[in-house]
Structure 1
Amino acid sequence: MSTRATPRAPRLDVDRLLADRHTDIVVCCGSGGVGKTTTAAALGLRAAEQGRKVVVLTIDPARRLAQSMGLTELDNTPRPVHDIDTTAGGSLDAMMLDMKRTFDEVVVAHSTPEKAEQILANPFYQAVSSSFAGTQEYMAMEKLGQLHQEVRANGDEGAPRWDLIVVDTPPSRSALDFLDAPKRLGSFLDGRFIRLMTAPAKAGGRAGLRVFNVGIGLVTSTLSRVLGGEMLRDVQTFIGALDTMFGGFRQRADETYALLAQHSTAFLVVAAPERDALREASYFIARLETERMPITGLVLNRVQQVQAPGLSAARARAAAEDRADEGDHLTAALLALHADVAGAADRQRKLARRFSVGHPGTPVAEVPALAEDVHDVEGLRRVGEALAAG
């Protein structure tokens, strides 16, 4: 009776992806601790050294991206990365999302100077812009839209500043929460509390205001007792300025969401060859498929390599015991180490095959486990080479 071999996953051609000038956004998503930030930085560096003008945007608050690119810090302003090969005409900038500063930029860009000053000084706004649920996702969509406008616009010399954006999303499942930003923003702006608080401005005339006051008198008195009168006034001032403050933000978020669904965007799911990480990768792929987002492939990081593939873990372990019995402890230790590595590699291969069975059309690029952490541009270059070798 014959057995059918498990089909091998198609190979992800990273260089072809980066060279495709129709691709102008690459989104790296995945759970924490799988090398997602390093992958995003390595892709950006490789694309830049092949002639693309790249900006890497990290939404992850960790600062590993700055360290690996030789930068002392990252903030909301793109900073050039030096020590890269620019002979092909490319460039590389990097930045980290500052949601408070991005929120402030939205206020300034879509308000009069007087109104912007009033909003920025509002205590309730200051709290909301730093900690309001979903602010990071809203501002991620806003910043991505801003960057993409510069991709499409011409610079001072008649060419766009960038032609490729690489996005490094936060770890865990919240990495895809920014896909919900337009929907959540709409629910917030259309919610009952917001409608009540903005009713005076929309009622029109004293009669409308009297009707409103009768209906909300109990609510505001209760809120005054809970929040305090001054805090309530701050909230009302803040909400009264929503239309001006957001200035079409919901529309821009919808436009950015639509942009992510286009063929010019590539989503790469990053995972380690471990059970939990691949389970998370399956979740990401299922979510992206539900949202009809363009899934380009899986990057499988830290894949264990075996230097002597012909020597199985079982044979190496048996040989190690024989050498130990004969007093050759050094050889025994080396064989035992090989047995551990070969066993880990075998487990990883089985998990990877199981993933490919569940997602047979998802191309995969494997990156071997490195002997040391990546902490500089040269290390990122090696990771990029491994990604391309796949």
Structure 2
Amino acid sequence: MSAAEETPGTPSRPARTARPATDRLAPPLDLAALVADPDTRIIVCCGSGGVGKTTTSAALALAAAEAGRRVVVLTIDPARRLAQSLGLVELDNEPRPVDVPGVPGELHAMMLDMKRTFDDIVVAHSTAERAEQILENPFYQTLSSSFAGTQEYMAMEKLGQLRAGDEWDLIVVDTPPSRSALDFLDAPNRMSRFLDGTMIRLLTAPARAGGRAGFKFASAGFMIFTRIISKILGGQLLRDISAFVAALDTMFGGFRERATATYELLRKPGTWFVVVATPEPDALREASYFVDRLSAEGMPLAGLVLNRTHPPASTTLSATRAEAAAEAVDDGDAVAALAAGVLRVHAERMTLATREQRLADRFTSAHPEVAIRTVPAAAGDVHDLDGLRTMGEALTGADDDTPTGVPRARVLPARRA
């Protein structure tokens, strides 16, 4: 059951869940300790699209550099917002240093180039002649740049390469803006299934049987199969695919081994997942699915960053009382009209904050063990280091160090029944 569908008092949950949703307190998420801990080597920021994963990743990386660590942040965001916010003209497939004056650590950034990463794998794990055959194959060129799932798999490959080099104290990964955040976790297994698929085995069978001789002695059933596929795909495309899988055949084992190794890397101590969501039903529903998946896979979850919340300047005046006060003072006088306007703005903000807190409480009802850190919405887009530093302070600041004293695990104070 998703967070959006959870209701208090269901028989399958402990009796304590029968209390009002506003009484459910999520544990605080201590991101300052997480990024400063030398045992933390990988942080994966994940969630649905458009929730602020890229800026969250960059802000955490900057906070880690300020804590004295050598950090690289890997983004898969094609919009290049990370480069702009870090003061760089562009990012590419290799880490680039970011100039952050006065920071005791080091900050580097890079943006995944999935085709170049795929090309590097081919060159590194095959002979020069075989690599040339693969790189020039038309089907490979399509696969390496636009095939469904390639971006997620190459993100995993690049993560494995960065970690294997042992050059970085911390690697922060901004996962791809996929339709579903679960695609990132599924990428290694999806690639393995693709390599082990029936179609691939059929296309590689003649090559494994001896190239042209294999085709000569292929079964009648296979010849019928190839004629059917030729009509569907076209003869040239089928020949391109056959040549590609024949050239790639010797690399299949390496793909599987790296896919398995990178997947296991995500489960090892030192790796933490940070789920990012906004206080919207769809984003929290996706976050709930992801939390369930991480739990099922035995992967370490640090907690949820609830981004772009709208806490009010004061929590002592309710929306109802503010609206009533606005009506009482609004008598047409300019000063009174201004006061009434301020009261109505506060009422709107309290109403919005109440809605956001209710959604957060539903998530906590479904996942009471998940730590939460709320981050207020910025006045505008985060486009420079100062903006990232401000967001980093919201992510890593002391739990009760807020203007209203409300813990950072919440938008509004908890009400007791």
- Whether TM exceeds 0.5 here: the answer is yes
2:68 is the counterpart of 1:51? yes
Distance apart, 1:308 and its partner CA:
2.4
Q: Could you tell me how far apart the structure 1 residues matched to 2:102 and 2:62 are? A: 9
Structure 1 pair 188/50, CA: closer, same or farther in 2 (3 Å)?
same
Cα distance in 1 for partners of 2:110, 2:258 equals: 21
2:153 corresponds to which residue?
138
Alpha-carbon deviations, 1:48-104, whole Å to 9, x = none?
111111111112322211111111112212111113433x2x111111111111111
| Superposed counterparts of 1:1-390, under 5 Å | 6-86=23-103, 88=104, 90-151=105-166, 160=167, 162-171=168-177, 174-203=180-209, 210-246=216-252, 248-327=254-333, 328-389=336-397, 390=408
Cα distance between partner residues in 2 of 1:17 and 1:375: 25
Specify the SS of the correspondent of 2:383: coil
Q: Give the secondary structure class of the aligned counterpart of 2:330.
A: helix
CA distance in 2: counterparts of 1:209 and 1:233, whole angstroms: 12
Are the aligned partners of 1:30 and 1:172 in contact in 2 as well (CA < 8 Å)?
no
Q: Residues 38 and 380 of structure 1 are in contact (CA less than 8 Å); yes or no, is this contact kept in structure 2?
A: yes
Distance 1:51 1:246, change over 3 A: farther
Q: 1:157 maps to which residue?
A: none
**1:197, 1:68 → 2: CA distance?**
47
Unaligned runs of 5+ in 2: 1-18, 398-407, 409-417
| SS at structure 2 position matched to 1:174 | coil
**One-letter code aligned to 1:67:** Q
Conserved 8 A contact 1:106-1:245? no
In percent, how many aligned pairs have the same letter?
62
Equivalence for 1:154: none
Distance change (3 Å), C-alpha of 1:338 and 1:70:
same
Matched AA of 1:382: T
After alignment, is 120-129 or 178-187 more displaced? 178-187
CA 1:294–1:84: 2 relative to 1, 3 Å? farther
Q: CA deviation at 1:245?
A: 4.4
Q: Pick which of 195-204 and 223-232 moved more.
A: 223-232
How many residues are matched?
378
Q: Tell me, what secondary structure is at the counterpart of 2:228?
A: helix
Q: If the length of structure 2 is used for normalisation, what is the TM-score?
A: 0.85
Q: Cα RMSD (Å) of the superposition?
A: 2.1
Deviates more, 1:376-385 or 1:66-75: 66-75
Cα 1:69/1:302, change in 2 over 3 Å = same
Per-residue Cα deviation, 1:233-278 (whole angstroms, up to 9, x for no partner): 2221101012234560110110000000112110001111222222
Shift of 1:232: 2.6
Task: State the one-letter code of the partner of 2:391.
Answer: V
| 1:156 alignment counterpart | none
- Structure 1: unaligned runs, 5 residues or longer: 152-159
CA distance in 2, matches of 1:54, 1:145: 15
TM-score using structure 1 length: 0.91
Query: Is the Cα–Cα contact under 8 Å of residues 309 and 375 in structure 2 kept in the other structure?
Result: yes
40-49 or 337-346: bigger deviation: 337-346
SS at match of 2:279: coil
Between stretches 201-210 and 100-109, larger displacement belongs to 201-210
Is contact 1:312-1:339 (8 Å) kept? Answer: yes
SS in 1 for 2:109: strand
